[in-house]
Amino acid sequence: MAKVSIGLQGWRFEESEIFTEEGEFRPLAEIPDDTRQRLVRLTYLHGEPCMACHCIYGDEQKRRCNEATIVYGEPMAEVLLCAEHEADFLYWFREGDGADIAGTDGVQTEFVNWFTHGNRSPDNYDGIEHVVTDPDSLPSPPDADELTRRLNQEYDGKRKRIDLRTGEISWVNGSGDTTNEESSLDINREYPTT
């Protein structure tokens, strides 16, 4: 299977990770964690304005902003763009300092700062040609409320317990039974305070 974008271009997913052979979305529990995080995040990003347009028009004229059709970056530190401003981001990323901070929370802030200071890509700067083969054949992802309901259903009656020393996560059901071996936290240790 190929890689596909869903909802917004930019983030690409391995088709086999998110779709069944029948072409339906897999249950969330079957989707790898990183892919699931991006898929769920997309439901919140859909319909948001382009960040570059927002820099130009601001909150008071937000209605003039183009709706974002492209996403770059990592979940919770993503840059949302319209087709008109994608070349500006790619120029900043390729020719400026963008690649130096790829994968960090600073990508969003640094791009917005660069753009706000009047920087733009040169005229006719080559962006990326997004190939749209058959957008109507992809099922629409569930809305954010539906995904939240599905995620909560998966963990219904369970609590997450995180061992602060090892970072190990265990799931505890209502009766106190754990789904994997717990590490004991040393509560007698003196921890630094401010």
Q: Are residues 110 and 167 in the same domain?
A: no
Q: What total of structural domains would you count in the chain?
A: 2
Same domain, 7 and 40: yes
The verdict on 143 and 77 lying in the same domain is yes
Res 137: pLDDT: 57
**31 and 123 fall within a common domain:** yes
pLDDT computed for residue 194 by the predictor: 46
Structure pTM? 0.68
pLDDT reported for residue 22: 87
Domain check: are 164 and 194 in the same one? yes
Is there a single domain that holds both residue 125 and residue 171?
A: no
- Quick one: 14 and 88 in the same domain? yes
The number of angstroms, rounded, from the C-alpha of 20 to the middle of its chain's C-alpha atoms is 22
| Domain, as residue range, for 103 | 3-152
The segments of the chain whose pLDDT lies below 70 read 1, 127, 130-144, 147-194
pLDDT of residue 147: 65
Claim to verify: residue 164 and residue 145 sit in the same structural domain: no
* pLDDT value, residue 70: 93
Same domain flag for 79 and 165: no
